[in-house]
Structure 1
């Protein structure tokens, strides 16, 4: 709901209010963003008071000597009229300079959400779900119009923002910074929460108190990046996962971005998010319009979990779209770690049959099926079947997969080309490179110039034919290197605009694909999680969280990802042990328990599983199918564990009468403390039954200690021990409780004791390093 009264604008969601007004000078003063308030009551107490002379500040003009833009919380700022904080918009008019002074002209309130005309991804909603406010500002001395667009999504408790600059008569405007969103807050007692990392350790959460100055989180790599995700939160001091004021912000963009958080000398906070000015410059000529990517904003007084829940609802209902929106996703098997490049159709069909027998639903043929691709140095761009590996061709191979009752998926990396390829030989001018050539190379590959229409047409025509003939159900869209040598050999293209124009070309190509193939599941993978952002999720409803599938590392990666993104887009894998990135060993059960929170897939060699391991995987898949709706679309919570050595996650249905909870122990210790399983979001008025998922414990966990009970002495790591372990495994503890929701929420369950060197029975919990359990919590009928 959006209200306007005497040029005070009140933007209300179900639980939040966002207020700003037009000042006497025509500027937009931000008044309030927080818990919902009654905006029909007097609002003057929220106005900035300017009754005293300014202390060495610059007054706005001679008619307003007590008024300074530098002391106001503003909706959108420009340079040169006394506001010395970071500006949302920086531009230069040749011969006139950088000063801009935009003041209110008019506004309009629209039911629903008009589509942006900027060829950028954006959120969506109908007339019942959202309302839009467009505020029009004019620069006082030039023919420049600035439009600020706010869309309020009531049930999601999210407000989206974007800005447009229209040149109505200036010969040329050089835009150097153009933020999508500015949020000014009057208080400074916040912690800044960001999600940073690298390849294989994406989106690790970092939190630090705000300090004077400007903190910048950005990407200059051409993608949203594994280094710094565009999402961030501001949490009040003393807040936690369930309590305290929390602001969240994210950006619908997949290229270079920048988030600036400034703590001013007056103790005010300014947040800016948008295109990265370090790599962005745009010339706007008379009659042209430039629109920023869309940004999203949320607030919750229920801590980080509350803000995350808002984002999750918003992504599921207003970002992800198409045939697979809010649908349960299939369990997949991916061939990569099972075969790498070394496979033929016989091996693949054996893997497919094994997958089908286990209950897997989607078979994904990863890298190596095209051109002469036997290693990573060749054939990207040559999207034709490698007939040495698939002599009957891809269409017949797909038919065989479908005949097993499986969906068929395929890996492609459309944006890339190998030097050793027919495409590169025929079109060397299609790559991104400086005029003198010799571009930097990443993973033996080069980037195709998607600003060129003929490049996009080639990719669309070639891949569309391939996917149609092979009846492809799923596409893994790879993107395995970052950008360099930002230059198009199209000499008519303004080179300073290349980075953004590349993204516009990519989005145009993706839109053609999703329009043509609405039933295909598209999954993004940029060296794993290097382009894990809202922009890509507008076209691809799921994304690889990381190439790193080690369950211990995945705790941090998936938990960090869960702050801005829901489980329903998070693609996870159960892979080999020792892990192929970290060489860390972990149990098959723990690998599943972590991967189950999201979209489940398997990426290990199914043909090498022992009989007992196949039984374990079969039971895992059956359990996941039974609870798939909860694992993919349940409301997700991060829970503060009772022990410092643990991670605890929970998902619940809307009624809070069915939940799944993960308890993961990072390292075993002697004389372990008592474990208490507390679920703060349980319904205090509900009576629950709590059961632990059936798991199997490898007898090798006990080493030679097993000989205290075994009639046959087993040598540790010996052949006989290995043979026995392939056929026999211990079941985990028997643990069942009936418990009131108040006890579960306020105190928790004292779990059975862990094995501690002495004593063992059917109730003993065997919890070694990287060990875990999933608890099913079901409300009894009322």
Structure 2
């Protein structure tokens, strides 16, 4: 059980989760100071603790690390709250108004309410813990119920403080289109290290999470502190290491130069910025996040994700009814459960120059609409899905010609086109209502089970001239408008599944996952490259949301030729899909694919819902990942040996997460292995000869 307890005599609060404790206290200057984040404590122990010692040196601030740093007083580091009152005053002087702890639906929430000593400004700091989960959720709500408005220049969700350690190491991911989620580990500099997106979406180049350790953590052991922001627009996370080695992690939405006006009954509610401590290394931290996503983020975490066929790489924009039916007829015998038609089905969408915004079937390609294709897909025993990009418009479209001011734009400035398209302003109620109208109509008129929701370009000229000084609110309101639309569609169409896509993995975060079912990981479908992408992805996100395709060889992006078995085994580490041109696959390839799809269906409950262990990273002679079923009775090992090593056979692979007192049977060979030996000596591996060899092993506890 998780809980929040308080010691009134010291004004101390203790947040307890199954494996960790977090403690804070209201300090002399009003805002809470940080006491502890780590191994479990009792309330008496927390109440007796002194805060971390004051910083050394002149001008280092109030001394004790604050839970939420505001601009003002002798604070010279980065502030989570920065604003300007109507008279030009910048410092904030908060006074505690009260506190309350509420319990509901297996969660406990602490709220600390503050008001400025002079101005009509209130700030609520929120902390929430869930039963059975070590993640702590934090967010804040800011109000200024008076005119004229206050101008907010920064509003972070939370500030996390790390305990003193000899050194600090930062783990995060970086990359670009086609190479998302590349894991990096670097020493934390004595400076402000900021990860950010200024693009209006999460971004391919970074992802809103960090992990920090003392430089000695491994995959299986050591202390790791981590934090992740649930937001799908522009964001920033700053790791601040002072010259005296105090480390704090601040994070929230927005980016420099973007401001928000706050007045009247309005408020700014930040996205959740969650934190997790693990004493079990990076693997333990990842499994903690995976469980949190399944238990407290995803709308339908218990669903078994279907095997998908997507037509994009087979057809590109050359989409028509007959061609899609041919692909569907080949996909069904493979065991595919959901057939998805991608871009090119609507308007004058013959290429990426036109058509976005005109969401009606192309009459030349679908003379009788979508119903005949959908009926045929259903007759073949598959569900039907469709690609859409609701937030975008081509200038060459009927929609843009009718409503040119619906896009993000700035007065007296050119409208930059990327991929020949502009971004619709979903902060506008009329745009959001238009989008709901055609999407709802499409879903009501057709038996559509799945939407692949794409977003292929970032914001530019992100203005809204008709609202003047309030235009910057669109950086927030566009995202919340998208969230609201997704929720509205799901409520009206309960069977609907939605995949978040943004030119590949450009919109992957805990925010979008609260409104969708899975994410497209990368436009790069090369199996060898995917090993690194999936490794970085798994640091925070579970396999059950990671869409992974098997496509043609040689791969369209880099020309690499990889055996079909290797391609399938890599994609089986997530939510399996097929995306190749099946009309060009040989009968032998189709038969092998059907066999591998059947194998995946046997193991997918374990892959999608089990505990994940990264056994060996990309670049090792053998890369491997293991999944253990929630009840511990079955385990799946996917191992990859990209290149043989001359004169050396693969060594047995030590496993994780098994019962050392049990015996496990290899379901394929019937061989029996004591759990203790699998954990220490390892699982013997057998690979086919040649490059890009792989194997999938399923173990059952006897």
Which of 14, 24, 28 is the equivalent residue of 2:32?
Answer: 28
1:254 CA drift (Å): 0.4
Which of 250, 274, 283 is the equivalent residue of 2:228?
Answer: 250
Confirm or deny: 8 A CA contact 2:297 2:514 kept in the other structure. Answer: yes
Match of 2:407 in 1: 431
Residue aligned with 1:636, SS: strand
TM-score (norm 2): 0.96
Match of 1:163 in 2: 140
Q: 1:452 to 1:286 in 2, by over 3 A?
A: closer
Confirm or deny: 8 A CA contact 1:28 1:104 kept in the other structure. Answer: no
Confirm or deny: 8 A CA contact 2:12 2:46 kept in the other structure. Answer: no
Supply the distance in 2 between the matched residues of 1:69 and 1:141 (Cα, whole angstroms): 22
1:671 CA drift (Å): 1.8
1:16-39 per-residue CA deviation (whole Å, 9 max, x = no partner) reads 100011124433110000121222
Supply the distance in 2 between the matched residues of 1:542 and 1:382 (Cα, whole angstroms): 26
1:47-86 superposed matches below 5 A: 47-48=51-52, 57-58=58-59, 69-86=61-78
Residue aligned with 2:161, SS: strand
1:645 CA drift (Å): 2.3
Confirm or deny: 8 A CA contact 1:145 1:166 kept in the other structure. Answer: yes
Residue aligned with 1:572, SS: strand
Which of 85, 99, 124 is the equivalent residue of 2:91?
Answer: 99
Match of 2:43 in 1: 39
Confirm or deny: 8 A CA contact 2:622 2:650 kept in the other structure. Answer: no
1:144 CA drift (Å): 1.8
Supply the distance in 1 between the matched residues of 2:259 and 2:381 (Cα, whole angstroms): 52
Which of 638, 644, 660 is the equivalent residue of 2:620?
Answer: 644
1:187-232 per-residue CA deviation (whole Å, 9 max, x = no partner) reads 2422111111100111111111112111000001110101110011
Confirm or deny: 8 A CA contact 2:613 2:656 kept in the other structure. Answer: no
Match of 1:413 in 2: 389
Confirm or deny: 8 A CA contact 2:518 2:544 kept in the other structure. Answer: yes
Supply the distance in 2 between the matched residues of 1:643 and 1:96 (Cα, whole angstroms): 56
Residue aligned with 1:151, SS: strand
Match of 2:582 in 1: 606
Supply the distance in 1 between the matched residues of 2:464 and 2:438 (Cα, whole angstroms): 22
Match of 1:4 in 2: 6
Residue aligned with 1:229, SS: coil
Q: 1:170 to 1:139 in 2, by over 3 A?
A: farther
Larger Rg: 1
Confirm or deny: 8 A CA contact 2:121 2:145 kept in the other structure. Answer: yes
Residue aligned with 1:419, SS: coil
Match of 2:568 in 1: 592
1:646 CA drift (Å): 2.5
Q: 1:642 to 1:399 in 2, by over 3 A?
A: closer
Number of paired residues?
A: 697
1:617-664 per-residue CA deviation (whole Å, 9 max, x = no partner) reads 110111111122012111111113698323111100123221111111
Q: 1:135 to 1:674 in 2, by over 3 A?
A: same
Supply the distance in 1 between the matched residues of 2:683 and 2:306 (Cα, whole angstroms): 34
Residue aligned with 2:69, SS: coil
1:165-204 superposed matches below 5 A: 165-169=142-146, 171-188=148-165, 189-204=167-182
Match of 1:271 in 2: 249
Tell me how large the CA RMSD over aligned residues is.
1.9
Confirm or deny: 8 A CA contact 1:657 1:686 kept in the other structure. Answer: no
Match of 2:674 in 1: 740
Supply the distance in 1 between the matched residues of 2:619 and 2:365 (Cα, whole angstroms): 51
1:49 CA drift (Å): 5.6
Residue aligned with 2:612, SS: strand
Residue aligned with 1:432, SS: coil
1:473-502 per-residue CA deviation (whole Å, 9 max, x = no partner) reads 111111111110111243356123231222
Supply the distance in 1 between the matched residues of 2:74 and 2:223 (Cα, whole angstroms): 31
Residue aligned with 2:226, SS: strand
Supply the distance in 1 between the matched residues of 2:459 and 2:266 (Cα, whole angstroms): 28
Supply the distance in 1 between the matched residues of 2:616 and 2:528 (Cα, whole angstroms): 17
Match of 1:238 in 2: 216
Supply the distance in 2 between the matched residues of 1:587 and 1:56 (Cα, whole angstroms): 62
Q: 1:345 to 1:203 in 2, by over 3 A?
A: same
Instruction: Tell me which moved more, 186-195 or 553-562.
Output: 186-195
Confirm or deny: 8 A CA contact 1:525 1:543 kept in the other structure. Answer: yes
1:46 CA drift (Å): 3.6
Supply the distance in 1 between the matched residues of 2:57 and 2:216 (Cα, whole angstroms): 35
Match of 1:358 in 2: 334
Q: 1:364 to 1:280 in 2, by over 3 A?
A: same
Which of 771, 774, 778 is the equivalent residue of 2:693?
Answer: 771
1:293 matched to 2:265: no
1:519 matched to 2:495: yes
Confirm or deny: 8 A CA contact 1:680 1:746 kept in the other structure. Answer: no
Confirm or deny: 8 A CA contact 1:91 1:177 kept in the other structure. Answer: yes
1:680-715 per-residue CA deviation (whole Å, 9 max, x = no partner) reads 3221111112356xxxxxxxxxxxxxxxxxxxxxxx
Confirm or deny: 8 A CA contact 2:254 2:475 kept in the other structure. Answer: no
1:307 matched to 2:310: no
Confirm or deny: 8 A CA contact 2:659 2:676 kept in the other structure. Answer: yes
Match of 1:697 in 2: none
Match of 2:516 in 1: 540
Residue aligned with 2:289, SS: helix
Supply the distance in 1 between the matched residues of 2:269 and 2:57 (Cα, whole angstroms): 37
Which of 91, 101, 120 is the equivalent residue of 1:143?
Answer: 120
Instruction: Tell me which moved more, 590-599 or 169-178.
Output: 169-178
1:40 CA drift (Å): 2.9
1:439 CA drift (Å): 0.8
Confirm or deny: 8 A CA contact 1:142 1:170 kept in the other structure. Answer: no
| Structure 2 gaps, min length 5 | none
Residue aligned with 2:356, SS: coil
Q: 1:602 to 1:660 in 2, by over 3 A?
A: same
Which of 109, 112, 137 is the equivalent residue of 1:132?
Answer: 109
Q: 1:49 to 1:462 in 2, by over 3 A?
A: closer
1:69 CA drift (Å): 4.2
